[in-house]
Structure 1
Amino acid sequence: MFKTFEGLVASFSAWVWDWPLLVLLIGGGTFFLIYSRFTPFFYFKHAIDVLRGKYDSEYAPGQLSHFQALSSAIAATVGMGNISGVAVAIVMGGPGAVFWMWISALIGMATKFYTCSLSVMYRSKDNDGNFLSGPMYVITNGLGARWKPLAILFALAGLVGTLPAFTANQLTQTLIDVLDWDDEYKWYIGITLAGIASLVILGGIKRIGIVASKLVPFMVVLYFVTVITILILQIQVVPEMFMLIFSDAFSGDAAAGGALGYLIKTGVKRAAFSNEAGIGTAPMMHGTAKTNEPIREGLVAMMGPAIDTLLVCTLTALAILSTGVWQRTDDNGISLTLEAFNTVLPYGLGNVVVLIMVLVFAFSTLFSYSYYGTTCLGFLTKPKYGKYYNYIYIFSIIIAAVVKIDFAINLIDSAFAIMAIPTVFSGLLLAPKVNAMAKVYFKNLNR
């Protein structure tokens, strides 16, 4: 029975991520990029100032500061997708897949500017005065009640897409590999992970924001220093790896079957899992930011794909490619990244470093993703009932720890694909509203 379901999920994932959805994400993002006339990119310094708290006000409506909102969103994206997902992309599509991850990230920055600006423009309040946001609220408040079926579609898919299937699975596999345990220990690891995660996620969005704002800077700096060390030790082959990425991006020689189309799809899928631009999760977090200026939060959100994919994913890719492990092993996911680190770092140190980073990355993702699920359930029922999703989420961590990685990937890919349709579609329809507000905001800013 489960094998049949597993096969159906795999078939649906392969079908739905074919060209129509790629056209939606890449085509929609390209539209946002051109329609904005690249204007948001000219205000990157201003976005950094906003992030530093220069424009923070304790009286502004919302639950999280700009920094906490971005940290929480990045906590969900800078995770196993960056350590494990990049390895999956290289194994499935070859080095050239990394190039298409870059392209997807650049386009995704424009997508996040629009979707996260809209998340503040059309957010709602619950009975306790807390803000609720995301594509479902953008659709119902921005497009009207007749579009509600599209909002329901997003929320239903979100209940699945925000499950910790990939993260819990790969964190468990890391512990099994590093500690050299038998697979039977996966159940115990899953139970332990669920217990630790519950301590944070049951505390609600504010506790998640506080924890994420502490973890994210630490994990990005730690990862950056570690991978840069590996690249310095491998500096003689790094330029060659960049050339390999660019040359393979258009030839598809290293991709499965040598198909360029397959290569592009692989890169875009893994980038979507990594930075989630156009998927609709980040707007749920950014919509809670303490601000009266939607454009301001859109600029902050735009920095997410730059940090996530252009920086962290690139570092992972170069570490894997420069060590050559992707050519001489059948490993995939976290196991491949772990082997790359152990190839260069002193014996045993690679295991320790990767284990620490995986623990920090994975837990930060587990904490943030739970909030997305509660928001989706709250929309489908009533906001006060959203918290019950946390119990489903905690239980699913245990199940995710023991399933196969292929099933975890296909399940999340399928849900993300469905979530992307309402997110991008509503963004395209409401883009003129964002442009009108951006014109006023940038005009006042330049005075």
Structure 2
Amino acid sequence: MQLINDFVERFASFVWGLPLLILLIGGGLYLLILSRFLPFRYLGHAIQVVIGKYDNANDPGDINHFQALTTALSSTIGMGNIAGVAVAISIGGPGAVFWMWVSAVIGMSTKFFTSSLAVMYRGKDSNGDIQGGPMYFITEGLGKRWKPLAVFFSLCALVGALPVFNVNQLTQAINSILLTPNGVVVSTSTNLIVAAVLVGITAIVILGGISRIGKVASKLVPAMVVLYFVLIICILVIHSDVVPSYFKLIFTDAFAANSYTGDRFLGGLTGGLILLGIRRGAFSNEAGIGMAPMAHGAAKTSEPIREGLVAMLGPAIDTLIVCTLTAMAILVTGVWQTSDANGVSLTATAFNSAIPTYGNYLLLLCIVVFSVSSLFSYSYYGTKCMSFLFGAHNKHYYNYIYILSIVLGATTSLGLIINLIDGFFALMAIPTMLATILLAPKVLKEAKRYFNAMKSKA
């Protein structure tokens, strides 16, 4: 097992090298400048689309704009925002949060382009059903000769979509918040029981397809975001005297890297901190990775730009808001300096410190909903890739692999799991970003047409 851990860690470090950083962040900056900051200029319009002002039941697709956003968010507002932030701070200190912000701002532009393309170049699976996602906008937008790139994305996504990190951290949360404090001895048996319950819940929902996933996510995710928001605000009010100083520390430590304990990158600690923040930011919002466009590609709309604007709200919500709230809770309570806990256990320690007795259990409720909703979304992504590779009639086989991986996630170490998913996320970003950069001019042409039409109607 140690050999496997070491191999996966080296694999993740190799693929997250300078070339990928340039492609993901440099490519995102290129898209931001090329569009003249277009996504940010139409933020108000994006909100109008989300709340249903432009919904049309006769448009092609399976779910409305709001359900598409919440389905995408259910896979990002999950353990990446609760445990992923804790991992970033435990290794990089407060400065890691700043580089997660940078990743999110650039990611808003990237998501606008990738999700617009997911609707612009929807393809059909072997059943003749309309589908969207990087594998389809690569083949439909760039041509059939680019299919190997689409196949590479889909193969990597079969692993990247496995729910092992969410299950791992949910199991850890149940163990540290619920079982251990109540005298239950945590063992492989208890982890398998947790896995069995998750398998049952997940199977009921995922077998219903994207429509059921969208309906469940649109009800669960907003309620839990509100509860999580209220809990964090309570913690910040309790520690209001230190909030300004820690918020300032996020900026100053981003360049000083005084708290960074990880590997150097480009010869320095600051380089290592930047890479850590970008990796955790990508894990949080998935911008440029290619997962979210598969959900947004299923949206009921005939206007690709509309869905691109909806998608760009994702990184703002999950990284700029939810991740920042988590980070501030961990920082102001001081547990990042006094506790040896990592991942979700560190976040739980912060909640227990500020809101004794009840804080942990309310956090566990949020964690359960975020994690379980993530299980639904990731299964959908995996089946879409399976369908693209092996035909729609074989996509259900992915669910069996998916269910087995739930057991794996519940019984494997955090280090192995996070490096495995990190590595395959990096590989998925390569075809997604290459295709997006090549097709960006077509998105801008479509955007010009869309906004001119909007002006003429006004």
TM-score, length basis structure 2: 0.96
Aligned position for 2:344: 334
Aligned position for 1:69: 68
Aligned position for 1:213: 218
Deviation (angstroms), 1:279: 0.2
8 A Cα contact 1:73 1:282, kept in partner: yes
- Residue 290 of structure 2 is aligned to residue 280 of structure 1: yes
Deviation (angstroms), 1:304: 0.3
Aligned position for 1:183: 187
8 A Cα contact 1:132 1:287, kept in partner: yes
8 A Cα contact 1:63 1:130, kept in partner: no
- Residue 424 of structure 2 is aligned to residue 405 of structure 1: no
**Aligned partners of 1:444 and 1:140: how far apart in 2?**
28
Letter of the aligned partner of 2:300 in structure 1? K
**Residue of 236, 245, 266 corresponding to 1:231:** 236
Letter of the aligned partner of 2:351 in structure 1? F
Deviation (angstroms), 1:22: 1.1
**Aligned partners of 2:128 and 2:233: how far apart in 1?**
45
Deviation (angstroms), 1:322: 0.3
**Aligned partners of 2:393 and 2:375: how far apart in 1?**
21
SS at 1:54 equivalent = coil
Deviation (angstroms), 1:128: 5.1
8 A Cα contact 1:112 1:278, kept in partner: yes
Deviation (angstroms), 1:19: 1.6
**Residue of 180, 195, 202 corresponding to 2:207:** 202
**Aligned partners of 1:432 and 1:412: how far apart in 2?**
31
Letter of the aligned partner of 2:424 in structure 1? A
Q: Superposed, which structure 2 residues align to 1:407-446 within 5 Å?
A: 407-446=416-455
Deviation (angstroms), 1:57: 0.6
Runs (4+) of structure 1 moved beyond 2 Å? 2-6, 125-131
Letter of the aligned partner of 2:332 in structure 1? S
**Residue of 256, 273, 289 corresponding to 1:263:** 273
Q: Superposed, which structure 2 residues align to 1:368-407 within 5 Å?
A: 368-407=377-416
Please identify, of 183-192 and 125-134, the stretch whose mean Cα deviation from structure 2 is larger. 125-134
Kindly provide the CA deviation profile for residues 333-357 of structure 1, in whole angstroms up to 9, marking residues without a partner as x. 0000000000010x31122111101
**Aligned partners of 1:136 and 1:86: how far apart in 2?**
30
Q: Superposed, which structure 2 residues align to 1:1-400 within 5 Å?
A: 2-126=1-125, 130-178=129-177, 179-180=179-180, 181=184, 182-184=186-188, 185-256=190-261, 259-345=269-355, 347-400=356-409
8 A Cα contact 1:63 1:131, kept in partner: no
Deviation (angstroms), 1:127: 5.5
Kindly provide the CA deviation profile for residues 270-329 of structure 1, in whole angstroms up to 9, marking residues without a partner as x. 010000000000000100000000000000000000000000000000000000100011
SS at 2:62 equivalent = coil
**Aligned partners of 2:29 and 2:74: how far apart in 1?**
26
8 A Cα contact 2:238 2:354, kept in partner: yes
Deviation (angstroms), 1:9: 1.0
**Aligned partners of 2:44 and 2:319: how far apart in 1?**
19
Please identify, of 181-190 and 9-18, the stretch whose mean Cα deviation from structure 2 is larger. 181-190
**Aligned partners of 1:344 and 1:40: how far apart in 2?**
38
Deviation (angstroms), 1:188: 1.2
8 A Cα contact 1:77 1:308, kept in partner: yes
Letter of the aligned partner of 1:376 in structure 2? C
**Aligned partners of 1:183 and 1:21: how far apart in 2?**
39
**Aligned partners of 2:127 and 2:300: how far apart in 1?**
16
SS at 1:108 equivalent = helix
**Aligned partners of 1:325 and 1:71: how far apart in 2?**
31
Please identify, of 131-140 and 73-82, the stretch whose mean Cα deviation from structure 2 is larger. 131-140
Letter of the aligned partner of 2:320 in structure 1? L
What percentage of aligned pairs have identical amino acids?
Answer: 58
**Aligned partners of 1:20 and 1:331: how far apart in 2?**
33
8 A Cα contact 1:63 1:290, kept in partner: yes
8 A Cα contact 1:62 1:130, kept in partner: no
Letter of the aligned partner of 1:355 in structure 2? L
Kindly provide the CA deviation profile for residues 84-132 of structure 1, in whole angstroms up to 9, marking residues without a partner as x. 0000000111110000000100000000000000000111123555321
Kindly provide the CA deviation profile for residues 394-446 of structure 1, in whole angstroms up to 9, marking residues without a partner as x. 11101110100000100000100000000000000000000000011111112
Letter of the aligned partner of 1:436 in structure 2? K
Please identify, of 93-102 and 255-264, the stretch whose mean Cα deviation from structure 2 is larger. 255-264
Letter of the aligned partner of 1:93 in structure 2? G
Letter of the aligned partner of 2:422 in structure 1? D
**Aligned partners of 1:393 and 1:47: how far apart in 2?**
34
* Unaligned stretches of 5+ residues in structure 1: none
TM-score, length basis structure 1: 0.98
Aligned-residue RMSD, C-alpha = 1.1
**Aligned partners of 2:111 and 2:131: how far apart in 1?**
18
**Aligned partners of 2:125 and 2:18: how far apart in 1?**
39
Distance 1:373 1:32, change over 3 A: same
**Aligned partners of 2:201 and 2:392: how far apart in 1?**
25
* Unaligned stretches of 5+ residues in structure 2: 263-267
